[in-house]
Amino acid sequence: MLHFDVMDGIFVNNISYGLPLLEQVRSCTDMILDVHLMITRPERYVERFAKTGADIISFHLEATDDVRGTISAIRAAGAKVSLAIKPATPAQSVFEYLPLVDMVLVMTVEPGFGGQSLIPETLEKVEIIRRRAQETGLDLDIEVDGGINAQTAPEAKKAGANVIVSGSFLFRADDMKKTVELIKEGNKC
Ligand code: ZN
């Protein structure tokens, strides 16, 4: 799938792109589009992102006062729901929402910029959330995002992540296809 990072310059200290680019991307691929909203009060925009072609919408727990309403709005618009947390947000803060979402996105760096190193403590949160999902019988996807390369991907998988986002590592690679395979296989480069 293609991970699409939307930044509003308020929730994070950077601005990326939004609906017009998503529309363009949607028109040239059938890939699953995994839209990660790093924006304040995402409930204002989730319907438009879904209608523009997002298959999965991740929004941040820290960005809204209405987590349940945002989940419902994404579902009503026909997209899958993913709840994202920043590195400083405790794993336990997503527990009450786990039965309502398809995926939890655990940020493994501070959101806002590519090319950072993975914060090891964030993988402990992946373990905690994976354990909770198993204990409560939930078929939950756990996504990690930030600092993923051929060394950290196997660590993230071991912690319980099954959706692995990689940006800089792939875009800097000489052969992106091979590098994707490398991450999937979990081999060291
Ligand atoms: Zn992202």
Distance separating alpha carbons of residues 87 and 106, to the nearest angstrom: 7
Q: Is 139 a catalytic residue?
A: no
Cβ atoms within 10 Å of 78's Cβ, excluding its own: 11
Cα 132 to averaged position of ligand 1 atoms, centre (Å) = 23
Rounded to two decimals, the pTM is 0.95
pLDDT value at residue 141 = 98
Q: What is the pLDDT of residue 185?
A: 83
Residues in the chain with pLDDT < 50? 189
Strand segments, DSSP code E, in 52-180 are 56-60, 80-85, 103-107, 141-145, 163-165
Give me the pLDDT at residue 187, please: 52
What is the whole-number distance in angstroms between the Cα of residue 36 and the centre of ligand 1?
Answer: 5
The answer to whether residues 49 and 35 touch, using CB atoms and an 8 Å cutoff, is yes
Q: Where are the alpha helices (DSSP H) in 11-146?
A: 19-28, 46-52, 67-76, 121-135
Distance between Cα 189 and ligand 1 center (Å) = 23
Predicted pLDDT at 48: 98
How many Å lie between the centroid of ligand 1 and the Cα of residue 65? 21
pLDDT tens per residue, range 36-61: 999 999 999 999 999 999 999 999 99
Find the catalytic residue in 66, 145, 174, 175: 145
Describe the crossing of helices 121-135 and 152-159 by its angle, rounded to 10 degrees.
30
Separation between Cα atoms, residue 153 and residue 175, nearest integer Å: 18
CA of 34 relative to ligand 1 center, distance in Å:
9
- What confidence score (pLDDT) does residue 184 get? 86
Handedness of CA 67, 76, 44, 139 (dihedral sign): positive
Q: How far is CA 95 from CA 72, 126, 128, 129, in A?
A: 17, 12, 10, 8
To the query of whether residue 65 is one of the catalytic residues in this protein, the response is no
Residue 3 alpha carbon to ligand 1 centre in Å: 6
Name the β-bridge partners of 81. 57
Q: Of 5, 8, 34, 102, which residue is the catalytic one?
A: 5
Say what the pLDDT of residue 108 is: 98
Record the tokens describing residue 159, joined without a space: 């912690």
Lookup result for tokens 């590592």: 169
